Amino acid sequence: MTHANAPLTPVGRLRLALCVVDEGWPLRRAAERFQVSVSTAKRWADRYRDEGEPGMADRSSRPPTSPGRTPTRTERRIIKVRLARRWGPARIAFLLRLVPPTVHRVLTRFGLARLTHLDRATAQPVRRYERATPGELVHVDIKIFGNIPDRGGHRSSAGKRQRTRNLGKKLDRYCGSHVGYSYLHNAVDDHSRLAYSEILPDEKKQTAVAFWQRAQTFFANNGITVERVLTDNGVCYKSRLWRDTLATAGITHKRSETERRAALPQWLHTHNGEF
């Protein structure tokens, strides 16, 4: 890949070289024409003479050998301490008599730069689960959360009603028009993690179906054709309207509640580890 500040692209290098080699331009004239130094013009002309047009392509800047790279044995020791003790670069460096930047470079190279990249229970690198292609599986779910009045939450309002009877009716009128619940409908592609969300007033089947139709359009506009949809056993997702909407679009519907309940004990055991 050509460097962002490179004065010449491979095509420009070829044009410069052709002017010098084939048309006989002096190096200084070619350098002025293409706004580069004389040494740069000479380099591309010489490379064209030796290699032809393929020589105009970028070359790797990586040296043939890396004598300053951390030995493999030391890298293995760093990784071993990281996985066993979950220490940061400074502590690992002190133990192994290294410098922290060296340890950090090794951890970064092996994808272990952050402790959050390790599973809490097993200390093994986290491998994110995902489907092979976009649209193969889309997760759909609803998150319910309480609305917060402009003057405070439910607890604040309740406390005022208990402490100040004179304000009771005012607070009831105020909370009656603002306190309630909102429903965050979500759809996330399992491969790309592309997400579509809307805050809606309820979780009725008509609302859920309308949300999904807009979500499907969103994914289609981003080049994703949905093949399967995974939901829990919510009432709206068990309705005939939901089933028929997906079937009409040629989408397979999968529900996960049974598998999720069965997996919960093992998940808790793994999460808690030795505790």
For residue 162, give Cα distances in angstroms to 70, 131, 155, 165, 167.
Answer: 68, 53, 11, 7, 9
44 three-class SS: helix
CA dist., res. 58 & res. 40, Å (int): 14
179 in Cβ contact with 155 (< 8 Å): no
Q: Among 134, 152, 148, which Cα is nearest to 180's?
A: 148
For residue 179, give Cα distances in angstroms to 162, 165, 200.
Answer: 18, 20, 15
* Token representation of residue 29: 């004239």
Measured over all CA atoms, what is the biggest interatomic distance in the chain, rounded to whole angstroms? 99
Q: Among 172, 169, 241, 177, which Cα is nearest to 211's?
A: 241
Please list the pLDDT of the chain residue by residue as tens digits (275 residues).
555 556 688 888 999 999 999 999 999 999 999 989 999 999 999 999 999 999 888 877 666 666 667 888 999 999 999 888 888 889 999 999 999 999 999 988 887 767 666 665 565 665 555 677 889 999 999 999 887 776 655 454 444 444 444 444 444 444 444 468 899 999 999 888 899 999 999 999 999 999 999 999 999 999 999 999 999 889 999 999 999 999 999 999 988 766 667 777 776 776 665 44
Domain boundaries defined on the chain: 10-56, 72-117, 138-268
Strand-pair category, 228-231 with 195-200: unpaired
Residues 6+ apart with CB under 8 A from 69: none
Answer whether 0.75 is exceeded by the pTM: no
CA dist., res. 69 & res. 75, Å (int): 10
Which fold, 138-268?
Answer: Nucleotidyltransferase; domain 5 (3.30.420)
CA dist., res. 35 & res. 15, Å (int): 13
